[in-house]
């Protein structure tokens, strides 16, 4: 590619042997406009160190504000656990009976009672209350993992979007000088009457197309940079550069293997299962409705002066009678049972949807991988061969410079399509990671027959 690039530059410079002629007014507009656009472009800041995907992911997991919020929710749920399953506060009571109205201060003539009481929930209720609170912690932790997974996937997508934009701009930058020389050569030939005005128009259209691509690539890079900095909890305008590869050569795992893995790694599935488990514990607690609660109390009584004995004590106990309120408790038990069945159905639906998402993302990844290999193994060599033939034809005066420029644009299109397919593969792999709930690494061992059949 580099040798062909140098050859094209040389041919473009040497093409018009009698190109030292006066330029017609206004004829150099396309060249000057293109040169101004190229010169005014802001190249990536080379002083900004390039970061790998692993480095950016680690920074995002440590600094992302949404992850911090989810982590605080976990801490709040954990702080709530010790407050559940505890006994209610004991109660102290002072009661004065038969205090004379004509001597309201004469407590010696009254019956004075001091009492301390404590309510006691039925057996097993406090443990179930604590387990329900612990289920809330599990749900909050799964929510945290869901946020972490989503942030990691969004970081990966932004990383590969920025990497794709960098690679696309690099490909175009390699062809900038060729485009300049081709447009200038067409203009000069038109000036001396060797080519029709249509050739100048073709050159201008080719230049406009290249300029349009660069504007789009700059926009894509700025958007990806802003998204990545936001995920990192930084100023969206901060400069950032990335380095890495798209991993197109990785062997994709089988769908069944990914489905099994998702059952133990996908956070939203685990969260739904934790919610369902919480509902079952709440159902068990509702089933304790017919277990009575108790209240015990003990007190001291001081009788009026002259009574014998004057000092007494008392013990008091009470028990709830839930059997007399069956309508309420049966409704509570029925409600908790319906909630459990609803949660179980939701888990089954989410599991089914997750398997579908895995298969869809896997199909997209396979298609993008095959397309990238087609561009790399077939179309790119053909485009290079066509460009090489155009160079030879131009050397032997069998074609003009615009045909050579068309061949060059074909190579650019194939290279860009190749990078785009690799970007689509990286995005599909990110979606697959989101569907599975865990990173999908490259396979180091040769695929088995089953895997090959699955990938076909």
Rounded-to-integer distance, Cα 315 and Cα 115, Å: 9
Is the C-alpha dihedral spanning 165, 171, 177, 182 positive or negative?
negative
φ, ψ of residue 44 to 5 degrees: the values are -55, 140
For the chain, the average pLDDT equals 79
Is 249 a residue whose pLDDT tops 80?
A: no
Tens of pLDDT, residue by residue over 353-407, are 999 999 998 998 888 888 888 887 877 777 777 777 776 776 566 666 667 667 7
Bridge partner residues of 120 (DSSP): 294
Is 31 a residue whose pLDDT tops 90?
A: no
Rounded-to-integer distance, Cα 133 and Cα 207, Å: 66
**E-only strand ranges, 145-291:** 241-242
Rounded-to-integer distance, Cα 59 and Cα 52, Å: 11
Question: What residues contact residue 384 under an 8 Å CB cut-off, 6+ apart?
Answer: 1, 4, 411
Question: What residues contact residue 263 under an 8 Å CB cut-off, 6+ apart?
Answer: 269, 351
pLDDT for res 75 = 94
Q: 335 with 285: CB under 8 angstroms?
A: no
Residues 87-102, mean pLDDT to the nearest whole number: 87
Rounded-to-integer distance, Cα 232 and Cα 65, Å: 8
Tens of pLDDT, residue by residue over 110-136, are 888 899 999 999 899 899 989 999 999
Is 456 a residue whose pLDDT tops 50?
A: no
Residue 445 tokens, joined: 């061992």
Q: Give the strand order in the sheet containing 111-120.
A: 91-97, 111-120, 294-302, 311-319
Residues 41-50, mean pLDDT to the nearest whole number: 64
pLDDT for res 194 = 63
Strand (E) or helix (H) holding 344: helix 326-374
Residue in the block written with tokens 């699955």: 454
Neighbours of 69 (CB within 10 A): 11
pLDDT for res 426 = 87
Is the C-alpha dihedral spanning 40, 46, 49, 50 positive or negative?
positive
pLDDT for res 170 = 78
Q: 406 with 399: CB under 8 angstroms?
A: no
Is 203 a residue whose pLDDT tops 80?
A: no
Rounded-to-integer distance, Cα 302 and Cα 100, Å: 16
pLDDT for res 340 = 92
pLDDT for res 65 = 92
Q: 64 with 151: CB under 8 angstroms?
A: yes
Q: 285 with 132: CB under 8 angstroms?
A: yes
- 168: alpha, beta or left, given left = phi > 0 and alpha = psi -120 to 50? alpha
Tens of pLDDT, residue by residue over 431-441, are 888 899 888 76
pLDDT for res 13 = 38
Q: How confident is the model at residue 100 (pLDDT cuts 50, 70, 90)?
A: confident
pLDDT for res 211 = 76
For every residue of 177-208, DSSP letters joined together read: HHHHHHHHHHHHHHHTTSS-HHHHHHHHHHHH
Helix (H, G, I), strand (E, B) or coil at 357: helix
Question: What residues contact residue 216 under an 8 Å CB cut-off, 6+ apart?
Answer: none
More confident residue, 48 or 177: 48
Tens of pLDDT, residue by residue over 151-179, are 999 998 899 888 888 887 877 776 666 66
Is 273 a residue whose pLDDT tops 50?
A: yes
**E-only strand ranges, 280-335:** 294-302, 311-319
Q: 248 with 422: CB under 8 angstroms?
A: yes
Q: 11 with 391: CB under 8 angstroms?
A: yes
Is 2 a residue whose pLDDT tops 50?
A: no
Is 91 a residue whose pLDDT tops 90?
A: yes
Tell if the pTM clears 0.75, that is, is over it: no
């Amino acid at each position: 590619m580099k040798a062909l690039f140098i050859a094209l530059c040389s041919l473009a410079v040497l093409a018009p042997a009698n190109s030292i002629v006066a330029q017609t007014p206004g004829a150099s507009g396309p060249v000057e406009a293109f040169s101004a656009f190229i010169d005014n472009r802001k190249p990536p800041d080379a002083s900004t160190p390039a970061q790998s995907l692993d480095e950016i992911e680690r920074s995002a997991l440590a600094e992302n504000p949404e992850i911090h919020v989810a982590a605080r929710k976990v801490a709040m749920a954990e702080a709530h656990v010790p407050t559940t399953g505890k006994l209610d506060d004991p109660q102290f009571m002072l009661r004065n009976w038969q205090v004379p109205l004509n001597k309201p201060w004469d407590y010696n003539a009254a019956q004075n009672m001091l009492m301390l009481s404590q309510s006691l929930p039925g057996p097993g209720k406090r443990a179930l209350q604590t387990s329900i609170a612990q289920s809330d912690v599990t749900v909050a932790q799964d929510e945290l993992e869901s946020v972490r997974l989503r942030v990691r996937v969004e970081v990966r997508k932004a990383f590969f979007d920025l990497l794709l934009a960098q690679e696309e701009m690099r490909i175009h930058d390699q062809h900038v000088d060729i485009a300049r020389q081709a447009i200038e050569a067409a203009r000069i030939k038109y000036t001396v009457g060797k080519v029709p005005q249509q050739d100048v128009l073709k050159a201008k259209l080719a230049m406009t197309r290249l300029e349009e691509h660069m504007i789009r690539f700059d926009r894509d890079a700025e958007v990806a940079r802003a998204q990545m900095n936001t995920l990192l909890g930084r100023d969206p305008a901060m400069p950032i550069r990335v380095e890495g590869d798209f991993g197109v050569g990785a062997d994709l795992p089988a769908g069944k293997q990914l489905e099994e893995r998702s059952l133990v790694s996908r956070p939203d599935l685990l969260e739904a299962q934790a919610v369902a488990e919480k509902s079952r514990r709440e159902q068990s607690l509702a089933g304790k409705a017919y277990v009575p609660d108790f209240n015990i109390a003990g007190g001291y009584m001081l009788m009026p002066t002259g009574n014998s004995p004057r000092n007494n004590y008392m013990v008091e106990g009470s028990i709830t009678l839930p059997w007399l309120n069956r309508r309420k408790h049966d409704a509570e038990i029925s409600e908790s049972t319906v909630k459990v069945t609803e949660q179980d159905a939701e888990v089954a639906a989410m599991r089914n949807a997750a398997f579908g998402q895995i298969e869809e993302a896997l199909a997209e990844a396979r298609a993008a991988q095959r397309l990238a290999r087609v561009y790399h193994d077939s179309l790119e060599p053909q485009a290079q061969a066509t460009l090489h033939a155009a160079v030879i034809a131009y050397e032997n005066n069998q074609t003009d410079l615009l045909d050579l420029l068309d061949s060059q644009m074909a190579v650019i299109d194939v290279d860009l399509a190749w990078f785009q397919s690799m970007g689509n593969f990286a995005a599909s792999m990110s979606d697959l990671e989101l569907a599975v709930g865990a990173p999908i690494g490259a396979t180091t061992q040769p695929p088995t027959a089953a895997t090959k059949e699955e990938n076909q």
